[in-house]
Copies of this chain bind each other. A is one copy, B any other.
Amino acid sequence: MLKAETLAIGTELVSGQSLDTNSQWLARELGAIGIPTLFHQTVCDQLEENVSALRIAAGRAGLVLLTGGLGPTRDDLTRDALAAYAGVPLREDPASLEAIRAMFARRNRPMADRNRVQALFPEGAEPLPNRVGTAPGIWMEHGGVAFACMPGIPSEMRVMFFEQVVPRLKARSWGTRSIVFRKINMFGRGESEIEAMSPDLTARDRVPEVGITAHQATISFRIRGEGDTPEEALAQTEPTAALIRERFGDLILGEGAEDLPEAVFAELRRTGATLATAESCTGGLVAQMITALVGVSPYFLGGVVSYANSAKAAFLDVPVEMLDAHGAVSPEVAEAMAAGARRRFGADLAISTTGVAGPTGGTPEKPVGLVYLGLATEAGTQSRRLEIGPEQPRDIIQHRAAKNALNWVRLALRERPGKD
């Protein structure tokens, strides 16, 4: 059976200045097509060490995936190391050189002479086009081992892996077993609460296997299905997924990458409702999470980041007397902000945030981590109080507040009928 090894190249990685996440990602993706990864190595930007690591990897794996060392600088030695390992010279590939030139031209930037080295390949190797960056990758087979060299930049590496490396694996009938991980995401309860509600699901040796993970207060079940085809692997997970959906109902946001923004977007599409935001302590994060999604513009009209009190008055019609009487962090102001945004944007719903994101600015009555949310709909306005905890760092308080705001929008939208 084919075994894989990853080789992450970079002095900044091996010295601990940066964290390599490419190896984990690649191992997971290889696992999904049935190729086990048995070793990872991380090595510095030194030719001798790279060649030695290649030799070790080739001695225990049939597929070696390298990341990094393909840039234009002197430190980028993957091309040289692979050529030295295989005992072949480097040759310039005219098509790759043209692609690099074209990429610079599209960006209206001069191509430095140094970038020319990115068109060099070990003799007998095949260039892997880089659709989203300048560094082409390398595919090479030598001594019965296949080597795939990809850029270290994760976004470029991922595109190249899916578009260039996986088809070459399949062409060799590698990676034909299908393993799917199905992730069902929830929001609104803690990890241990969810765990206590599901001992049957997480029991050892259960088929299919189910795990629980948590990321920024989103809790996920991960179901592992296996089969000869993706359909068969998926089918194995289906009864478990149905059980989870039934048991956790409204807590469920969606599957896979679907977190709160995606769940809100799905409800906006279903209902045809429009949304606006009025943010104080989250400073634009709620709007940014929504506008990160493709195609949301018919539903998201916009938002106000009313950081200064004067902006709360000028843009959202929050009465100055209310700000004076209750302070900006109050249920009254949260509701007035939401109502003002709803009216000014002409939206069906508006959500607001106002709170103490810290680490300073807390008082005994209004400690760091206290946040009020406001929701305005045609039925009126409401507010909610969150206590995220004074011990939490600013970014966690802002994220947690934003996610709770989105969750409230989601639950409010769920009560509305579909637009048809």
Interface of A is mostly: mixed
Contacting residues, chain B, for A303 (C-beta < 8 A) = 284, 304-305, 307
Q: Is the CB of A73 within 8 A of B284?
A: no
Contacting residues, chain B, for A41 (C-beta < 8 A) = 39-42
Determine whether A398 belongs to the interface, using a CB cutoff of 8 Å to chain B.
yes
Q: Is the CB of B42 within 8 A of A23?
A: yes
Contacting residues, chain B, for A419 (C-beta < 8 A) = none
Option from B28, B112, B283 in Cβ contact (under 8 Å) with A291: B283
Stretch binding the partner chain, chosen from A85-93, A240-248, A388-396: A388-396
Contacting residues, chain B, for A358 (C-beta < 8 A) = 294
Known contacts A20-B24, A300-B308; can you find 11 more A-B pairs with CB under 8 A? A16-B23, A16-B30, A16-B31, A23-B42, A72-B191, A73-B212, A106-B391, A107-B387, A277-B305, A287-B305, A311-B345
**Contacts A/B (CB < 8 Å), 22 sampled:** A12-B222, A15-B37, A16-B24, A16-B25, A16-B27, A41-B42, A71-B192, A72-B191, A72-B192, A73-B192, A108-B387, A112-B190, A112-B195, A114-B192, A282-B291, A283-B290, A284-B284, A287-B305, A287-B307, A294-B359, A304-B304, A315-B315
Total residues of chain A contacting the partner, CB 8 A: 112
Q: What's the least CB distance linking A403 to chain B, in Å?
A: 14
Contacting residues, chain B, for A282 (C-beta < 8 A) = 288, 291
Interface residues of A in 228-279 (CB under 8 A from B): 277, 279
Q: Answer whether A389 and B191 are a contact pair too, CB < 8 Å, given A291-B305, A360-B294.
A: no
Contacting residues, chain B, for A291 (C-beta < 8 A) = 282-285, 305, 307, 357, 398
Contacting residues, chain B, for A155 (C-beta < 8 A) = 393, 396
